Every structure is written in C-alpha cells, then in structure tokens.
Amino acid sequence: MAFFSNVQALVRYLPGRLWQAAPQVSHFGFALMLIGILGSSAYATHEKLVIDRNDTDQAYGLDITYEGMAGKIETPDNEIILSISDGNDSFEARPRLFWASRMNGLMKKPYIKRYFGYDLYLAPEQIQDLHAENGMKLARGEVVELGDYSLQFIGFEQGAHSMGGAMNFGARIEVVDAAGYTDTTIPMMVFASDRQIEYQDSPLLEGKTGNPVRLEKIFADEGAVLISIEGLTPYMPPDRLVLEVSKKPTMNILWAGSILLAFGGVMSVRNRWKISSPEKRGD
C-alpha cells in the first residue's frame, strides 16, 4: 500500500515539482526498504560447507576451494583465502576470522559478492585443527616397504653450524627400488636462530626428480623420524573450514530504498531552509 500510494502521489509532482514531493519520496523509499528487508529475510537460503585445506566443495553452482589463512587465527583481521569459480568466471574471496583476546571470542566478517538480483554471503564459522602429522614414522634400523621401494632409516646426520647460528639436522635413509638399485637420501631440517624451520628436501633416488623426501619431525628420544614422500605417503590436511554460504535476494531493493529515504530527508531539509530564509531567495 505504501509503495503504490506513493507512486501515484509522486506522479502528480512530476516533472516540475519534484522538490515539493519530499514526503512522498521518503515514504516511497521506506516502502522499498521494507520490501527489501522482508524479501531478504523470508527468502534467504543457506548452505553449510565443511572444506578441508586445499579441497573444493560446491554451493549454488559455485566451486569453493579453501586455500588456508592469510595469517594466524590470533592475528587481528586474519583472512580466510577462498578461490571461487562458476565455470565461466573466478574470483578470490577473503572473509575475516580471528580470535580477539580482548573480547575472548572469534570475530567474523563475511565476504559479500553483489549481484543484480541477490547478494552472496560467504561467512566463516570455524577453523577445525586436525592435528595432522603427514608422513610415515621410521625407527632406526627399521625397514619399511612403500610402493616399489624399500626404505631403512640408518641414523641421524648433523651438519655444521652456519654463520647465522642455524643448526642442520638430517636423516640418512637407504632406499632400494624394485630393480635392486640402492641409494641414500638425506633430507634436512634447518633450525634458524629466529626459530624458523627450513626444509631441505632430498630426491628419493639420485637423478630422480619426482617423489622428493621431506624430514617432517625428529624424535630424538625415540631414535626415530617422521618423513613424507610426495605421491607415496598419505596426506592429511592440517585443518578444515566450516563455512556458511547464503543467498539473500532483494538486497538491491533495500539499498535503493535506503538511498531514497535519505534523499527525501535532504529534500525536506532543503525545503524548510528555503521557507525559513526568504531573504536568501531574493524575496
């Protein structure tokens, strides 16, 4: 009723007396706001996705890939990195999710993609740490069959300290392939003075470019190591994202109504100013 009655009223003021139609413009804008609010609330739809790191799931015909976080969860304004594709177009979305110690809770800010008929909301809800230890544990002297290879952990290898104070530790692993060819690979971990760890991967066999070996962890007290070999050892994602994807229609109507309501207020202020200041009109 507000919508149609004010449309009829506005027609009487057009085109020459628009500035006198401030109440009608405001009420028309308010009617549009109500339609937008009701439409986006009543007809909004939601889908909840649980996506492992570097994995893809679908919602509303979109392929959504979770690529990790731009920082740490404790970092203010930390962003979740999402790659979105609909088959024809692709874009990156970065909703925010971080732990605020002052508020003692998670702060969330959705990423909003605006379309003509609706708004798409990508709202992160939670990051689930999977405590994954990727790779295979080897004790000293243990022989393990992996695919076409036989691996035996011979012992630890300690490199010289560098000028920057970094310490190098490696694992000497004997590798035998299906043809009986034997080689030794020594993946290294470099512990820098700033507690950063650099991984120096080693080829599985000399001259073999695929299947690099990485030393993931050292268990010095057990005399064991954790290694991963690309394409051979199982991979577990370090975390997963719980994401709510929402479609909210009529949001453009809501924003149009808000603008018209504000414009109607400006028109009213202008009209009152002209009435109260006749000398400024030259009367």
Read off the pLDDT of residues 123-134 as tens digits, 9 standing for 90 and up: 999 998 877 677
Torsional sign, CA 179, 180, 183, 189: positive
DSSP result, 201-268: -B-SSTT--SS-EEEEEEETTTTEEEEEETTTS----SEEEEEEEEEEETHHHHHHHHHHHHHHHHHH
Q: What is the DSSP letter of 3?
A: H
Backbone φ and ψ for 20, nearest 5 degrees, come out as: -85, -5
Q: What is the DSSP letter of 79?
A: B
Q: What is the DSSP letter of 140?
A: B
Question: Which of 122, 196, 146 lies closest to 166 in space, CA to CA?
Answer: 196
Of 192 and 78, the structure prediction assigns the larger pLDDT to 78
Question: Which of 130, 114, 123 lies closest to 55 in space, CA to CA?
Answer: 130
Read off the pLDDT of residues 174-185 as tens digits, 9 standing for 90 and up: 999 988 899 999
pLDDT tops 90 at residue 6: no
**In this structure, are residues 95 and 80 in contact, taking their beta carbons and an 8 Å threshold?**
yes
**Residue 46 bridge partners (DSSP):** 246
In this prediction, residue 33 carries a pLDDT of 86
Read off the pLDDT of residues 213-252 as tens digits, 9 standing for 90 and up: 999 888 888 899 999 888 888 777 888 999 999 999 888 8
Pairwise CA distance, residues 49 & 93, whole Å: 15
- Kind and range of the H or E element at 45? strand 45-52
> For the chain, what is the mean pLDDT?
85
